[in-house]
Amino acid sequence: MKYRSLLACIAAVGFSLPACCEDGYDLWLRYSAVDSAAYPALRTRVREIAGSANSPTLEAARAELARGLAGLAGAPLPIAAEPSQAGALLFGTPRSSPLIGQLPLALAKAGNEGYVLRSVTVDGRAMTVIAGNSDIGVLYGAFHFLRLVQTRQPLDSLDVVSQPRTQIRVLDHWDNLDRHVERGYAGQSIWDWHKLPGWLDPRYADYARACASIGINGSVLTNVNANATSLTPAYLEKAAALAGVFRPYGVRVYLTARFSAPIELGGLKTADPLDPAVRAWWKARVDEVYRHIPDFGGFLVKANSEGQPGPQDYKRTHADGANMLAEALAPHGGIVMWRAFVYASSATEDRAKQAYAEFVPLDGKFADNVLVQVKNGPIDFQPREPFSPLFGAMPKTPLMMEFQITKEYLGFSTHLAYLGTLWEEALRADTLVKGKGSTVAKVIDGELHGYRLTGMAGVANIGSDRNWSGSHFDQANWFAFGRLAWDPFAPAQSIAEDWMRMTFSNDPAFVKPVMEMMMGSREAVVDYMTPLGLAHLMGTGHHYGPAPWVSDLSRPEWNPAYYHRADANGIGFDRGPPVNGSGGSNAVAQYAPKVAAQFSDPKKTPENLLLWFHHVPWDRKMASGRTLWDELVLHYAHGVEEVGRMRRTWDAQRGRVDAERFAQVAAFLAIQEQEAQWWRDACIAYFQSLSKLPLPAGVPAPAHPLEYYKSLKFQYAPGRG
């Protein structure tokens, strides 16, 4: 940050107005000064930081408390090894601090990674304790305490116990070794492979701090469309350097494994997972990884999907492939995250059915250190999908959730879409496999099936842009992912509120309207892109903008027309049971019987998923009494209106937010409104060419004829695969 100009600004306007030059680098860890008249708690309850920082992680905890509280209090706090006064903030474990060991903190409830925050009185002095059973628990607790101050919570009778509900909470970086990020909209990869290991960009430590602040404990450094080079000694040295930076923050390094690496690197003739030479090659390579990175987390694997090599190339199963890697990793305590995102090159079946068809027969066949990583919906991170039918269908195989934080299908970084609501919807979906309340969240946290391993992965939206995520509001999605991985039951709204208060302002005149804007933002995108259960209408390849007309690509499922199936009679993909041997794909049968019964019946299917499951006539009567055609058009129009409303909400915040961030958000919302209009117009023009129906009264016609939208080309759209 430009320090001199910052000082000049502070001198000019004082602390009560927003700082004038913020570029978003500090994320939600801004620690800007508290108005002590409005929030005296900090002054009265926090006078000293006490504890012994006898490990790198406890040192990180103390450093964060010192940094955060100095910023919040406006001056550094005294640091002491033992509490010496009322208002001491004592951090540590029973091992690092004998006093913590003596206090009745009920630390057993915090588990291995959790923490207790408690107000206590020792020798008549009121103090606050941040305690964990492990050093990392203390660091997580320190971040929680800072969050309480940042969001201006009372500090006098603290009684917080928290521990993560999932074990593996990882960011998946789809970062290539040339620094291009697949589906990345925030610049290049933050891993500067060329300069590693010699140069450790300070950004790496800030990345790890940010991850730890929301409980993320793993980072898959490389793209799932993997390059075997990342497993060579030169790259392992680079990955080891990153692991060294991340270690104090509890973030373990993982890599993607290219299944054909034994051929590409080892010169073998095969990568058959049952071939003894292949197994020996992987074992030796894994041993070498651990020589570089003793706490290496394990491998993430995309196999036999979108052209990636895999065990099926040798007529072996996904379980054979995963178990071979698992065997090599097990002696070191490593795991395999094997992705269920598969679609076979020759498939004629409904794409939505493929993951279930390939994986459910393998339930119970995976080694103990394997998790199967499942995207939230059956297809691919669309603005709205039903939950994947795999959740609930593999009781003997730990399934971990895969969410996409980067907004490949939700307008890239210029569209404001808070994904907390999308993920909350997915996690709260009820699989009904063990009766009512068998939610996806309970599958993920292991409660429903007693999984031995649990986890959640988020495809990262982080890049070299100064603001990390490509836009200020996209930081909220990184934040929300971490919080939901820690607690899949956490409400999206309270996560958004924390983020806003920490990132922007505690001013109620800001928090209330901006929270409403965030909470409605994803639905606005659904409306102007893919309402009523439509999916995958985006431009082929780059996924930028509308292209529902595309129908001439060689593989059926590459075409948007495959997904919407609109014709003169109606629109939607019939996934119900076939009638008299023809019709639906029967994807509904992959759900538990009661869910299947609901989704099979257009009258019982929620309207927001209607066209996902049913092909329905344009004149079908909807709940509103309008026809499907009118309803579809009005959803498109409504999406655009909502973005207009979001712009007005933001414009009213001028002066409550620093000028730099205010201006970028305002400019991006203007782009979003233009592009929402483009989506609306292009989709209405196209669907109207099939339905031949007039627009509902008062809805303006698209600005251009359909041919105009079809002619648009975007050769340089970012993030291409």
If one asks whether residue 721 binds ligand GCV (CB under 6 A), the answer comes out as yes
If one asks whether residue 225 binds ligand GCV (CB under 6 A), the answer comes out as yes
Report the alpha-carbon distance of residue 19 to residue 71 in Å, rounded: 13
Structure-token pair, residue 259 = 């299944």
Please classify residue 716 by burial: count the beta carbons closer than 10 Å to its beta carbon, then call 0-12 exposed, 13-18 middle and 19+ buried: exposed
Bridge partners for 161 per DSSP = 116
CA distances from 294 to 54, 244, 326, 465, 499 (A): 21, 10, 16, 31, 34
Choose between 302 and 564: whose C-beta lies nearer to ligand GCV. Answer: 302
For this structure, is 306 an active site residue?
A: yes
Choose between 225 and 464: whose C-beta lies nearer to ligand GCV. Answer: 225
Find the shortest distance in angstroms from Cβ 183 to ligand GCV: 5
Find the shortest distance in angstroms from Cβ 375 to ligand GCV: 7
Report the alpha-carbon distance of residue 473 to residue 578 in Å, rounded: 44
Find the shortest distance in angstroms from Cβ 719 to ligand GCV: 8
**What DSSP line would sit under 432-460, residue for residue?**
-BTBTT-BHHHHHTSTTTT-SS-EEEEE-
**695: number of CA atoms within 13 Å, CB side?**
18
Find the shortest distance in angstroms from Cβ 182 to ligand GCV: 5
Contact 19, 32 (CB under 8 A): yes
Helices 628-651 and 508-529 pack at an angle, to 10 degrees, of 150
Find the shortest distance in angstroms from Cβ 341 to ligand GCV: 5
Choose between 426 and 628: whose C-beta lies nearer to ligand GCV. Answer: 426
CA distances from 190 to 179, 204, 462, 463, 533 (A): 8, 8, 7, 5, 36
User: Using omega within 30 degrees of 0 as the cis cutoff, is the peptide bond preceding 40 cis?
Assistant: no
Find the shortest distance in angstroms from Cβ 186 to ligand GCV: 16
Contact 481, 191 (CB under 8 A): no
If one asks whether residue 174 binds ligand GCV (CB under 6 A), the answer comes out as yes
Choose between 183 and 635: whose C-beta lies nearer to ligand GCV. Answer: 183
Find the shortest distance in angstroms from Cβ 261 to ligand GCV: 17
Choose between 341 and 668: whose C-beta lies nearer to ligand GCV. Answer: 341
Q: Within 272-311, which residues bind ligand GCV (CB under 6 A)?
A: 302, 306
**Backbone phi, psi, residue 228, to 5°:** -60, -20
Find the shortest distance in angstroms from Cβ 418 to ligand GCV: 22
Q: Within 342-401, which residues bind ligand GCV (CB under 6 A)?
A: 380
Structure-token pair, residue 477 = 């999605």
Among residues 306, 368, 567, 601, the one annotated as catalytic is: 306
Number of helices followed by number of strands (H, E) in the chain: 22, 18
Sheet holding 48-50, edge to edge: 79-80, 48-50, 88-92, 125-132, 115-122, 159-162
Instruction: Figure out which of the listed residues 182, 523, 631, 681 binds ligand GCV, where binding follows CB under 6 A.
Output: 182
Q: How many CB atoms lie within 10 A of CB 569?
A: 12
Choose between 408 and 498: whose C-beta lies nearer to ligand GCV. Answer: 408
* Residue 403 CA from chain centroid, whole number: 5
Instruction: Figure out which of the listed residues 91, 341, 387, 613 binds ligand GCV, where binding follows CB under 6 A.
Output: 341
Choose between 140 and 391: whose C-beta lies nearer to ligand GCV. Answer: 391
What contacts 181, CB < 8 A, 6 or more positions away? Answer: 173, 174, 175, 187, 188, 189, 463, 719
Report the alpha-carbon distance of residue 283 to residue 291 in Å, rounded: 12
If one asks whether residue 496 binds ligand GCV (CB under 6 A), the answer comes out as no
For this structure, is 192 an active site residue?
A: no
Q: Within 498-517, which residues bind ligand GCV (CB under 6 A)?
A: none
Report the alpha-carbon distance of residue 585 to residue 596 in Å, rounded: 13
> Which alpha helices (DSSP H) does 167-317 contain, by range?
202-213, 233-246, 261-264, 276-292
Residue of 522, 517, 520, 521 whose CA lies nearest to 653: 517
Choose between 183 and 258: whose C-beta lies nearer to ligand GCV. Answer: 183
Choose between 114 and 383: whose C-beta lies nearer to ligand GCV. Answer: 383
If one asks whether residue 175 binds ligand GCV (CB under 6 A), the answer comes out as no
Find the shortest distance in angstroms from Cβ 591 to ligand GCV: 22
Structure-token pair, residue 218 = 């793993």
Find the shortest distance in angstroms from Cβ 163 to ligand GCV: 30
Q: How many CB atoms lie within 10 A of CB 368?
A: 11
If one asks whether residue 658 binds ligand GCV (CB under 6 A), the answer comes out as no
**What DSSP line would sit under 328-359, residue for residue?**
HHGGGT-EEEEE-----TT--S-GGGHHHHHH
Amino acid at 245: V
Among residues 402, 408, 630, 642, the one annotated as catalytic is: 408
If one asks whether residue 183 binds ligand GCV (CB under 6 A), the answer comes out as yes
Find the shortest distance in angstroms from Cβ 174 to ligand GCV: 5
* Binding characters for ligand GCV, 404-423, by CB under 6 A (x = yes): ----x---------------
Choose between 91 and 381: whose C-beta lies nearer to ligand GCV. Answer: 381
Q: How many CB atoms lie within 10 A of CB 261?
A: 23
Find the shortest distance in angstroms from Cβ 172 to ligand GCV: 9
Choose between 64 and 408: whose C-beta lies nearer to ligand GCV. Answer: 408
Helices 492-503 and 508-529 pack at an angle, to 10 degrees, of 120
Choose between 404 and 605: whose C-beta lies nearer to ligand GCV. Answer: 404
Report the alpha-carbon distance of residue 130 to residue 61 in Å, rounded: 10
- N- to C-terminal Cα distance for the chain? 33
Find the shortest distance in angstroms from Cβ 539 to ligand GCV: 12
Among residues 380, 527, 642, 681, the one annotated as catalytic is: 380
Amino acid at 663: A
Residue of 200, 201, 193, 195 whose CA lies nearest to 177: 193
Count residues contacting ligand GCV (CB under 6 A)? 11
Choose between 241 and 460: whose C-beta lies nearer to ligand GCV. Answer: 460
Which residues of the chain form contacts with ligand GCV (CB under 6 A)?
Answer: 174, 182-183, 224-225, 302, 306, 341, 380, 408, 721
Active-site residue list = 306, 380, 408
